[in-house]
Structure 1
Amino acid sequence: MSNKQTVSFESLSKQYLGEINITMGVLEDIAAKAASEIDGVLSSSQKKEAGKFLRIQGSGVNAKMRQIEDRITIDINVRIAYGKTVPIIAAAIQERVKEQILYMTDLVVSQVNVHVQAIDTEPQTQIGSSVEHKENELEIGE
């Protein structure tokens, strides 16, 4: 569901051709996609659980944008893979989000606040399948 509010900005063209507006939802989508491309980012806890229940596919990174006057702030909720350095990943998310929004919309983001919701360890299905595999090897070898 995209936010109906829009962000207006000046055209780079010297010739006035009309007004350009981008919805906040588009900026949130750009931010979520940019954050999900960082190595070690898995997904946000809320969207992952809701996605399972509603059978929704996607990156699972949750981004929310606010605009106060000319300042744009983005809050991003993510899950980080176990063993990754959280401050390095958070800084990479901040840089990547600012860079992509500037590149795609020519808008400057004032702040990117990264909220690490959880640290994910190895999924249970992989652990369970490796145990079953070892049990099968023991049965075959006897």
Structure 2
Amino acid sequence: MAKQTSIPFETQHDNHLGEINITTTVLETIAAKAATKVEGIYNTNSSFQKISGSFFSLEREKIGAKVRRNETSISIDLDIQVKYGYSVPEVAMQVQSRVKEQILFMTDLVIDEVNVHVLSIETDNAQADFFHLDDENGDSLEK
């Protein structure tokens, strides 16, 4: 299992109750889940995975969320797949925006960069069946 690191929680409010640390795994899970909520993201999760209780860990691994931090900033790298027919730049920008907003909302941490890496364009099986080759007479070339 990968080493988990914690990010000290620094809020703008005085909190004399104790220290709060958030692991990078939490941020990666939030980022992955937020990314899957963007229209145009190819999502292959089955209902069995959701029911089995391993939804969040599978989501994080499938999306490929990775948090990097140094002394002054936090950045996230996301590997995604986009559905065929959607504007890749628009989907990527929506992912960046949604991830930053969701992490800020849930943790009060400001993410400096969300780097989106589009790995592929995916089609659903229904869409894949739609695409076929026709000759110039409109007859199917598939056998």
TM-score normalised by L of structure 1 = 0.73
Equivalent residues of 2:82, 2:121 under 8 A apart = yes
Contact 1:40-1:80 within 8 A present in 2 as well: yes
1:15 deviates by 3.9
Matched residue SS, 2:100? helix
Tell me, yes or no, if structure 1 residue 39 matches structure 2 residue 45. no
Give the alignment's Cα RMSD to 1 decimal.
Answer: 2.7
> What is the count of residue pairs matched by the alignment?
119
SS of equivalent to 2:65: strand
Matches within 5 A, 1:4-83: 4-43=4-43, 58-59=58-59, 60-83=62-85
Identity of aligned residues (%): 44
In the TM superposition, what is the alpha-carbon distance from 1:124 to its structure 2 partner?
A: 7.0
Which residue identity lines up with residue 129 of structure 2 in the other structure?
Answer: I
C-alpha separation in 2, matches of 1:18 and 1:126: 55
Shift of 1:10: 2.2
Task: Give ranges in structure 2 of 5+ residues lacking alignment.
Answer: 131-143
After TM superposition, the score normalised by the length of structure 2 is 0.73
Cα distance, 1:15–1:75 mapped onto 2, change above 3 Å: closer
Change in CA separation of 1:83 and 1:125 when aligned onto 2, cut-off 3 Å: closer
How far residue 2 of structure 1 moved from its aligned partner, in angstroms, is: 6.3
User: CA shift at 1:122, angstroms?
Assistant: 2.9
Name the residue aligned to 1:136: none
58-67 vs 103-112, which moves further: 58-67
